[in-house]
Each structure stands twice: as structure tokens, then as C-alpha cells.
Amino acid sequence: MKPADWIEISNIVQRAGVPAMVAFARDTKASARQPIRYATFFLRGGWRGLPPASDAPPAPPRDSPSGRPPHCGHPDCDPITRTRETEDDRGLRTVSRCPDCHPATQKGHAA
């Protein structure tokens, strides 16, 4: 490897951490079609793209049993109130509970 490669690897070790690099190398080796002879294969193949270790905390559970269901993402649906405001042909506005994500409409839904 070239000196620049070593410098880059040491930067990645500090950024992403050795465990992440080892895990990546192991996965890459397992899925590689050809034998891997050079560590630069890992460097070019993915180590550069590893996220910083400190930036990858374990994700909190998205929907706890006591919490509200996740927002459905519908453009008419208000993420706070979980109601949809719709306008009919006569320009009459109606606010109704979102059928997809309002907590009161979630009964019987299996997550």
C-alpha cells in the first residue's frame, strides 16, 4: 500500500473504529467473487464510506405500545393532530380523523 493509503486507513480507524472496519471486511470477503489480496480492496470498496462511529447510536424504538402510531405521511394529514382537512366541490372544508394514523382509528390494527 502507498503511504497515502496508510494515512487514510488510520483516519478511518479514528473515525469509524476498528470493529466497524473488521465487520465490513468480513462481510465483503464473504460476498466477494475473487480472493482478496490487498487491504486497499477494502479501502476502495467501502471503508471510506463507513459512518463515524459516534454518529451511529442505536436507533430508539419507533413505535412504543403507549405511543402514537407513526405519521402516515399523507399530504393532507397533520402530523400533530393526525387529522385531515379536505375541501369538497363547493369549497367546504372538512376536518376528519386520519383513517391511517389517527390513534382512535388504530384499533384492530396489527402494528
Nearer to Zn ion, 26 or 74 (CB): 74
DSSP character string of 43-94: HHHTGGGPPPGGG-PPPPPSS-TTSPPPP---TTB-TTT-EEEEE-TTS-EE
Number of residues forming the site for Zn ion (CB under 5 A): 6
Please identify, among the stretches 31-39, 54-62, 65-73, 87-95, the one whose residues bind Zn ion according to the rule CB under 5 A. Answer: 65-73
Cβ-based burial of 66 (10 A; exposed 0-12, middle 13-18, buried ≥19): exposed
- CB of residue 102 vs Zn ion: minimum separation in angstroms? 7
The answer to whether 77 contacts Zn ion (rule: CB under 5 A) is: yes
Is residue 72 within the footprint of Zn ion (CB under 5 A)?
yes
Summarize as ranges the residues that interact with Zn ion (CB under 5 A).
72, 74, 77, 98, 100-101
